[in-house]
Amino acid sequence: MSLEAKIEALTVAVVQLTGILSAQKPASLTPEQVTALDALAPVPSTLPTVPAPVAPPIAEAAIPPTPPMPAPPTFVAPPAPAAPALPFSDMKGLTDYTMKAFQALGPRGQEIQGVLQAVGVANLNEVTPDKYEAFFAGVEALKA
């Protein structure tokens, strides 16, 4: 039911109640007297209809198209700091590096033996390629 129809139905009900109240019927009337009183104060069955206002047509405004959404940002993790490049990659390079470090350390060169033990070997010839980085880091720490 539309809003206008509801309002119209309520208006009819109000008019009917107003007619009944304006007639001031006594409480002890017989049904014939009630009918006679109703005839004196007729209640309109329909109300005059008022035409609904007509809104002027709204011209559609030219809405510019929305620009496309920008691509979502991408986040790239910063590159990990590069580990210092090893100055050796084989047993010969390891031996040469160790000899130069021993000479550069002078009397502290004996401490290289402690680095070998920290890596888990007793002799330089036992250092495997997977232990090169740990050995290099230990010897460089002695230089600092």
Is pLDDT above 60 for 124? yes
More confident residue, 134 or 30: 134
How far apart are the two ends of the chain, measured CA to CA in Å? 92
Which pLDDT tens digit goes with each residue over 60-89? 667 788 888 888 888 888 887 766 689 999
Q: What is the pLDDT of residue 81?
A: 73
Q: What is the pLDDT of residue 111?
A: 93
- Give the ranges where the chain is alpha helix by DSSP (H): 3-23, 31-40, 91-105, 112-119, 132-143
Which pLDDT tens digit goes with each residue over 10-63? 898 888 887 777 766 555 666 776 676 666 665 555 666 767 777 777 666 677
